[in-house]
Structure 1
Amino acid sequence: MNINYFLRKQNLLISKISIEFIRTDYIEHLRENEKLIGIIGPRGVGKTTLLLQFLKQSSQKYLYFSADDVVFQDLKLYDLVDEAYSLGRKLIVIDEIHKYKNWAGEIKNIYDSFPDIQIRISGSSMINILFEKYDLSRRLVLYKVPHLSFREFFSMQKFETFEKLELEDILENAEQLSSDLVFKYDDLYALFKEYLEYGAYPFFIEGKKNFSKKLFNALDKVINEDIPSLNKIDYAHVIIFKKLIFRLVEAEKPFQVNVAKLSREFGISEPTLYTYFEILEKSRIFTPIKKYSKKTSKKPEKLLFSNSNILYSYANEFDKEVEIGTVRETFFVNCFEKIFYSDVGDFRVGEYLFEVGGKNKSFKQIKDMENSYVVADLDYTVNDKKIPLWLFGFLS
């Protein structure tokens, strides 16, 4: 086997990669003193960039390659790693690992065979379905890479680093925080509007003109390739995923779920429909919102996209108008790891209630509720109980 092809290619890629903007938290994860670390996330969030930036700053001897490289298709993963190891390259970085058949079994074999090797892998959001089969769960440290937050997008635009905010900081100091930022950066609110349409994926820096089409193509590959291959879904059922997506896009308000009606419409059982919701959630296309309750339930009350860029991209492709109320709720919901639908107000996060709306949104629906806030689509506030929507984009 000639390893030189991969060494030449990695050197070219790393020489071209920029480290002007780095998602520091995720680079630090890759640097941790663990033998096997994986990063997973949806297409387009910058996993390859993270791996290359990590290597550009590494002092170790390494081998980087992508499992979807056509030259790699006829090779065995173990053999390539063995040759790299014999050359003193003990840091092995494999991109798109899910493209390699039986990857989990071979990674386990490599892990057990080379005591002082370090392995870094990237893959689809859904690859964890294979961990248990090969007992990788106790060997692999796994991190999820999300889309860019508004804070990260704003940092890239301003070539500055902005610290994350805690929720309590926002709730207690919304007036001061929003005023300070807006008066210092008078284009902040305009940039927020841009972010909603095309700022959640790092490839926006390649240009705005074709962003929507590029994102649609990436999403289409997830639906047509990743979901069927990683979940053993019959290709004939892929059309159901597409119909679900279309239902969200054409809805005149945030999509409320009627499981019985949808299962009849699509000709599938309710348990199968719930499984499809879970797959779309793991794929980071949908974010299902369940009702706040002490009882556990599979049923989501609302379905939203995992970021507003996805909504805009599909709307452009299907020639549909985007409903601004859905855009606002989509952004807000995806600022949180754990959020629930609420009968009073729109959403509940911990002990707090939130009503989301436009700049003129009133307190009418939540006026008698403790720990309640209006989240309004405005640039800054003079009332700590009426918080600018964009400010929640600084939580991550």
Structure 2
Amino acid sequence: MSLQTLFQEQAKRLRTISLDKKRYLYDQINWTSKSIGILGQRGLGKTTMMLQYIKENYEGSDKALYISLDNPYFQSVSLYDFAMEFESYGGEILFIDEVHKYDDWSSHVKTIYDASALRVVFSGSSILQINKQKGDLSRRSLIYTLENLSFREYLSLSGAMEYQPISLEDLLENHGAIATNISAQIKPLKYFKEYLECGAYPFVLEDKDNFHQRLVQVINLILETDLPYINRIEMAQIGKLKKLLYLLAINVPFIPNITDLSSATQISRPKVYEYLNHLEQAKIINTLRSKEKGYNVLSKPEKLLMQNTNLSFALSSSVDIGSMREAFFVNQIKNALAAKNRFIDESIYSSKKGDFLVDDKYTFEIGGKNKGFEQIKDISNSYVASDDIEIGYKNKIPLWLFGFLY
């Protein structure tokens, strides 16, 4: 396959790419860096972001090229040799998608970095594998993670309204004025219900009717392809892993009983801990521990939730409303604060008083519109995130508003 053919394929792709709407991460990436890695689940828009950058900065130029390593052609050629050939013809920046489909891809990326002046942007849908290679690339590559759509982004991409992200501090201090402003433009509770069911992935805009079916396919690809390949899980264990995930989906939120989960799935206790860790790395679940326990994969989580609410609706015909509220809150907080790149992630812990401790400073209780302050009345910096209200008062804040953090 010639460079000319690849440029022709790229030109066809660029004709379908719009620059009108971009994911939140687009403007956070330092695109001038020599090596950039973008992590994220399938279907979140990584490919679109790379093509948008090419269209915005290199359309009609032969200095930037997008390739996808799921193309069978690249299984028979050296990625490093291809990159050197591209550079010899004047190439300046190479976008490599689906890197996890190529054996020993990280060695090739490192060699390209060391032996050429090419800038490289690589991306892959297998978060698990890229995480395993992340340490080897840390000295050379800036690694970014693209999370699922926030509620704010869903409103933007669906054409409902445009609004800038709000910092957590600004939200806590000025939520009344902010919610009043937004509620004057749209009916947030109507859109919020849509978002909880099917708004966390951009492909909802392509086919809403089959959204949950497509999401199940994404989950199956992770369980049947990524996990066995990356973590050497035997295929015979995949059925048990699916059963574990289903049990979690229909029972969350709850304090996991590892012994019961082990018995119900015929998975050993150590393997249950291991599989929970894999599912969290794959962005399928969120596990919450107390500040005292910290992040220890061998300690029992205090609480377990689906990573986002769309997963609950895809996996279960009956979604617990309390689970849904907590999963949304945890998802938006973790995704928003992850960008701070702290040495120790203290974005959110499970809390004995109240539901969650956020940013090691704020205590939150999550509930419906009648939720009161009884459980957190004596705690400083405490708030109620309340569902089914448009505008809050004092320390009672609409739950939907936390979807505007990124």
Q: Same fold (TM over 0.5)?
A: yes
Write out per-residue CA displacement over residues 253-292 of structure 1, whole angstroms, 9 at most, x where no aligned residue. 5132112332344344433322211211111111111123
Q: Which residue of 2 aligns with 1:125?
A: 127
SS of the residue 2:304 aligns to = strand
Q: Which residue of 2 aligns with 1:138?
A: 139
What pairs with 1:305-324 in structure 2 (closer than 5 Å)?
Answer: 305-315=306-316, 320-324=317-321
Q: Does the alignment pair 1:179 with 2:180?
A: yes
How far apart in 1 are the matches of 2:87 and 2:38? 22
How far apart in 2 are the matches of 1:44 and 1:272? 29
Q: Which residue of 2 aligns with 1:368?
A: 378
Could you tell me whether the CA contact under 8 Å between 1:179 and 1:381 is conserved in 2? Answer: yes
Could you tell me whether the CA contact under 8 Å between 2:288 and 2:304 is conserved in 1? Answer: yes
Change (3 A) 1:339 1:382: closer
Could you tell me whether the CA contact under 8 Å between 1:308 and 1:330 is conserved in 2? Answer: yes
SS of the residue 1:154 aligns to = helix
Could you tell me whether the CA contact under 8 Å between 1:67 and 1:95 is conserved in 2? Answer: yes
What pairs with 1:291-306 in structure 2 (closer than 5 Å)?
Answer: 291-293=290-292, 297=296, 298-306=299-307
Q: Does the alignment pair 1:98 with 2:100?
A: yes
How far apart in 1 are the matches of 2:294 and 2:389? 38
Amino acid at match of 2:176: E
Change (3 A) 1:5 1:205: same
Could you tell me whether the CA contact under 8 Å between 2:156 and 2:163 is conserved in 1? Answer: yes
How far apart in 2 are the matches of 1:50 and 1:160? 21
How far apart in 1 are the matches of 2:174 and 2:19? 33
Q: Does the alignment pair 1:346 with 2:345?
A: no
Q: Which residue of 2 aligns with 1:168?
A: 169
Write out per-residue CA displacement over residues 175-196 of structure 1, whole angstroms, 9 at most, x where no aligned residue. 22212211232x2221111011
Q: Which residue of 1 aligns with 2:41?
A: 42
How far apart in 2 are the matches of 1:15 and 1:89? 21
Amino acid at match of 1:312: F
Q: Which residue of 1 aligns with 2:25?
A: 25
Aligned residue pairs total 386
Change (3 A) 1:382 1:393: closer
Under a length normalisation based on structure 2, what TM-score does the superposition of the two structures give? 0.90
Change (3 A) 1:151 1:296: closer
Under a length normalisation based on structure 1, what TM-score does the superposition of the two structures give? 0.92
Superposed displacement of residue 294, structure 1: 6.2
How far apart in 2 are the matches of 1:62 and 1:23? 21
Q: Which runs of 5+ in 1 are unaligned?
A: none
Q: Aligned match of 1:331 in 328, 331, 338?
A: 328
What pairs with 1:79-90 in structure 2 (closer than 5 Å)?
Answer: 79-90=81-92
How far apart in 2 are the matches of 1:34 and 1:166? 26
Could you tell me whether the CA contact under 8 Å between 1:178 and 1:379 is conserved in 2? Answer: no
Superposed displacement of residue 2, structure 1: 2.2
> Which moved further from structure 2: 288-297 or 171-180?
288-297
Amino acid at match of 1:54: Y
How far apart in 1 are the matches of 2:363 and 2:156? 29
SS of the residue 1:345 aligns to = coil
Q: Which residue of 1 aligns with 2:155?
A: 154
Amino acid at match of 2:327: T
Give the aligned CA root-mean-square deviation in angstroms: 1.9
Q: Which residue of 1 aligns with 2:212?
A: 212
SS of the residue 1:9 aligns to = helix
Q: Which residue of 1 aligns with 2:234?
A: 234
Change (3 A) 1:310 1:11: same
Q: Which residue of 2 aligns with 1:53?
A: 52
Could you tell me whether the CA contact under 8 Å between 2:363 and 2:383 is conserved in 1? Answer: yes
Q: Which runs of 5+ in 2 are unaligned?
A: 335-346
Amino acid at match of 1:345: G
SS of the residue 1:94 aligns to = strand
